[in-house]
Amino acid sequence: MISNFIGFCKQREIPIFISTNVESEAWGRIRKVVNRIMDERKINAYAIRYKIIRRCEQRLKELLNASKVGSVPNPKISVVRNMYLSNREKLERIRILKGRTSILPSRMDMKILGEAARLAEQNEVYFVTDDRDFLDFKDEILKMFGVKVVRISELVSLMHALSKEAV
């Protein structure tokens, strides 16, 4: 999927931008996510875990190499925070589903969305994620910041839609 997405973007000269915060978050989460999924499925094969982690790291490196990675000045964190706080009921449902103590998404998640909001002031921005903190607020995020939140599983549909727009 990642290779297809990278090829698609290169072919159409669609730039991929990844903030240094997203890069850091991605590198830090690979091992945690793989281990959590393997634990949930009660798979203790550590050699397989290691191979999966290495493969994920390889894919991430491939994505980063095809992307422009940089920092985004002055992310709109306070505006993002206020957007979330305007819908406490939805936040509470997500908090319960995720099993976290805080009603708000992590500071890093709010910073990353704030960066996307800042970028959307001058660019069309697609925010690709599987995180409910973004997906459940995708309408609010689009309306307030002009950032289009897309589920990872919707990448193929997004590529198809972008192909049609180019024609």
Q: What is the model's pTM? A: 0.86
Distances (CA, A) of 51 to 23, 28, 37, 48, 147: 21, 17, 14, 5, 35
Model confidence band, residue 166 (pLDDT cutoffs 50, 70, 90): low
Q: How far apart are CA 49 and CA 39, in angstroms?
A: 10
Q: Are 130 and 152 in contact (CB under 8 A)?
A: yes
Q: Is the pLDDT of residue 1 over 90?
A: no
Model confidence band, residue 37 (pLDDT cutoffs 50, 70, 90): very high
Averaged pLDDT, 84-97: 94
Residue 8: both structure tokens together:
């698609």
Q: At what angle do helices 77-85 and 138-145 cross, to 10 degrees?
A: 130
Amino acid 146: pLDDT: 97
Q: How far apart are CA 161 and CA 121, in angstroms?
A: 22
